[in-house]
Amino acid sequence: MISRRSLLGGLLTAGIAAAAPIAASSQADAQIFIQPPPPPLRIERRPPPPRPGWVWVSGFWTWDPRRRRYVWVPGRWVAGRPGFRYRDGTWVRRGNTWVYRPGGWWR
């Protein structure tokens, strides 16, 4: 006959053994994504504008999720908009990640 003490010991051991893989898998599934900060801006040689009234849009780093790294987007000339100024995009830190605020036209 099984004693009460050995029955409780067996149940306790079985419970710990059954819970161990669950705890391990739940810890392995928890992922924290911390995107590294963007690299420093590159210094670009600005070619002459193609026409008067064109505005230079500076190059910037963009995050490529497929390659899991930053990729440089070179600067370019765009046609100006009368009464507007172009503001370059910028990277902003939010918690543990970086968010890109794209540039645009402002009055």
State pLDDT tens for residues 93-103: 988 888 999 99
Q: Does residue 25 have a pLDDT over 80?
A: no
pTM: 0.64
- Between residues 25 and 90, the one the model is more confident about: 90
The rounded percent of the chain whose pLDDT value lies above 90 is 55
pLDDT at 4: 56
User: Minimal CA–CA distance to 46: which of 55, 33, 38?
Assistant: 55
The rounded percent of the chain whose pLDDT value lies above 70 is 68
Taking phi over 0 as left and psi of -120 to 50 as alpha, with beta for the rest, 53 belongs to left
Express each pLDDT in 1-15 by its tens digit. Answer: 555 555 445 544 444
Question: In this structure, what token pair is assigned to residue 14?
Answer: 């079985």
Express each pLDDT in 29-47 by its tens digit. Answer: 554 455 799 999 999 999 9
